[in-house]
Structure 1
């Protein structure tokens, strides 16, 4: 089994560079939700996870989605890191702390995990261990028939089933529709899946993303099915905590699967440093390319437990190498709470 080092992307310093943002994976065809953006609300919509005609094999929806992903389809799935013109990178929505600081702690796995190597960095400064809570996402876009990749991370909750990723990794945004054949592969390693594949049961994101491609709400949650042994995802790999209404400036560790050059999407990459405010978003100068969308921005990441607290989700990359995340305010906290016990 191939366990390369996690490569350290950069030690981040603050920058004022502002360039038009690009989403890190593609979008698709029409399906609308109630437009709450004009009223300033931040509501969400949820859809039952669907499968494409090509995936209709197996005993149930979870098996159908998982069986769709042959090694060849995984290998050739793409990250569409081209500018999506409809994505609104200049939202006028003013985001910042709008309530008390809130958090839920991380949770260690309760199921004995199989032994896997955790290689450190490549010797460029502080070493960072890979995390089984972070993985690669594969999904089918019914709008254009393409297979795509994102990143994602587990989050602790009462259900022990939640994954967090970017809104554009579950829905195509304005004029788009819900993605299909959605699976999460924690600790993906050049085709190896030591913790299996976890199929989506439901997909949730903000209506501001669905209707307006508003990147200030480019956040999503996925409820997963149990595995074949009836185990729950967070019990198997652990779950990160989540925090909201904290300052923009945090010491952050990003673990991601950037797939566009100079990366290859085969293994977790990391970037560490201080986040900063860029408009109404959090920003870091990581240069992570397509495929890293949806990766967790982890505050307080522990190299010993390989757990942290999700304080952002990778959304965009600009021409200056700046990655951005939606700011986690009360709307994000409320959405998380509405899903925390959903099974």
Structure 2
């Protein structure tokens, strides 16, 4: 990964703050999450994100692993502890904000050269098979409300804008409670001590420069020390983070509404990445220029080192932090079936890819007790999780 420099001025506000010394080979000492609060004026983040800044935001480079750097871990290393689950919910508000155009993206034709051979790309050199698709159908105008990306559960996924050293970047993220969004640790923090990023803005169901459900400004961001002291190295045991977002008015005279009441939210479950099958949702910039939501579906390939698991995927920069969802669905008449049939459960987020593009695989840290520590810390803020 092209690691950002460490010149961002930050004010660290502790929910639970710890200083951790860690080398690449030492066992990390997990003593508690690190947090930063947005202490600026309530509207400062929204005013910062002008159309030009939003348009110029680039995908944050995804941390990259090398073949030989990652070794397979025995499956018995995962799932030793019974999973902990938190329930999700569909939207509870029937009223949504009026569609807001943030900016107009530059369009370029998505036309392959006439002599390009047509070949399936359902797997890479690791033999990890996947199905990759734009979320569909997508409608505009009066029919837009029937688009898949405007309907739960997809509408709980969005694009995360932020700045590092003043430069605008994007990642993917998903709502996991009324005010809480999950993303990758590397999308909020460089991996060097106290180097949080700034100006987090979440746009659920983003598409082509449009915010159909508003643009939400942040309140608190929290990351695990396993990432904050990692130096940006992957695989990492806890490359995930949580951000709380402020309530907003959907209309000028309306009461304040909570993000999750508008979008709905995913449940989450620990220790459930291997074996499993997930939908990996987000905004990779190698697909539709990160302007449309994508869904990559695949089964687990292998458990790897540092508490991570890999799946087949062709998504690259921009997909960082996107949710890995078990049982993505609108529940069918008669209900889902199987031994773990709870729908719309987040079991991971996109952490890393390979530096060559031929492997076509992504890795995620396994949510575990460190995830639960972040959850408890972010929920300690009044009203975030109830």
Alpha-carbon distance between aligned partners in 2 of 1:204 and 1:278, rounded to the nearest angstrom: 26
1:275 and 2:300 matched? yes
Partner residue, 1:136? 159
Partner residue, 2:243? 222
Distance 1:238 1:275, change over 3 A: same
Distance 1:258 1:205, change over 3 A: same
Alpha-carbon distance between aligned partners in 2 of 1:100 and 1:110, rounded to the nearest angstrom: 30
Alpha-carbon distance between aligned partners in 2 of 1:91 and 1:341, rounded to the nearest angstrom: 37
Alignment of 1:281-292 (within 5 A): 281-292=308-319
Which whole-Å deviations, capped at 9, do the CAs of 1:46-100 have from their partners, x for residues lacking one? 111366xxxxxxxx23x11112112221111112427679xxx769999633532
Partner residue, 1:106? 88
In the TM superposition, structure 1's runs of 4+ consecutive aligned residues that sit over 6 Å from their partners are 91-95, 115-119
* SS, match of residue 226 in structure 2: helix
> Residue 289 of structure 1: CA displacement?
1.2
> Residue 332 of structure 1: CA displacement?
1.3
For normalisation by structure 1, the TM-score amounts to: 0.77
Task: Indicate if the aligned counterparts of 1:109 and 1:237 stay in contact, CA closer than 8 A.
Answer: yes
Task: Indicate if the aligned counterparts of 1:245 and 1:330 stay in contact, CA closer than 8 A.
Answer: no
Task: Indicate if the aligned counterparts of 2:161 and 2:200 stay in contact, CA closer than 8 A.
Answer: yes
1:314 and 2:314 matched? no
Distance 1:187 1:304, change over 3 A: farther
Alignment of 1:42-53 (within 5 A): 43-49=32-38
> Residue 216 of structure 1: CA displacement?
2.2
> Residue 42 of structure 1: CA displacement?
5.7
Partner residue, 1:301? 328
Alpha-carbon distance between aligned partners in 1 of 2:329 and 2:181, rounded to the nearest angstrom: 19
Q: What stretches of structure 1 of length at least 5 have no aligned partner?
A: 1-21, 52-59, 123-127
Alpha-carbon distance between aligned partners in 2 of 1:90 and 1:119, rounded to the nearest angstrom: 31
Alpha-carbon distance between aligned partners in 2 of 1:83 and 1:101, rounded to the nearest angstrom: 27
Partner residue, 1:28? 5
Q: What stretches of structure 2 of length at least 5 have no aligned partner?
A: 13-17, 100-133, 139-146, 250-254, 333-342
* SS, match of residue 253 in structure 1: strand
> Residue 114 of structure 1: CA displacement?
4.0
> Residue 206 of structure 1: CA displacement?
0.7
> Residue 341 of structure 1: CA displacement?
4.8
Task: Indicate if the aligned counterparts of 1:42 and 1:331 stay in contact, CA closer than 8 A.
Answer: no
Alpha-carbon distance between aligned partners in 2 of 1:336 and 1:91, rounded to the nearest angstrom: 29
Task: Indicate if the aligned counterparts of 1:251 and 1:273 stay in contact, CA closer than 8 A.
Answer: yes
* SS, match of residue 284 in structure 1: strand
Partner residue, 2:167? 146
Give RMSD over aligned pairs.
Answer: 3.2
Alpha-carbon distance between aligned partners in 2 of 1:83 and 1:272, rounded to the nearest angstrom: 21
Residue 281 of structure 2, aligned match among 255, 273, 290? 255
1:177 and 2:198 matched? no
> Residue 28 of structure 1: CA displacement?
3.4
1:69 and 2:49 matched? yes
Alpha-carbon distance between aligned partners in 1 of 2:192 and 2:71, rounded to the nearest angstrom: 14
> Residue 255 of structure 1: CA displacement?
1.1
Task: Indicate if the aligned counterparts of 2:62 and 2:318 stay in contact, CA closer than 8 A.
Answer: no
Task: Indicate if the aligned counterparts of 1:49 and 1:202 stay in contact, CA closer than 8 A.
Answer: yes
Alpha-carbon distance between aligned partners in 1 of 2:380 and 2:90, rounded to the nearest angstrom: 18
Distance 1:98 1:42, change over 3 A: farther
Alpha-carbon distance between aligned partners in 1 of 2:300 and 2:31, rounded to the nearest angstrom: 24
Partner residue, 1:241? 267
For normalisation by structure 2, the TM-score amounts to: 0.69
Higher RCO (C-alpha 8 Å, min separation 6): 1
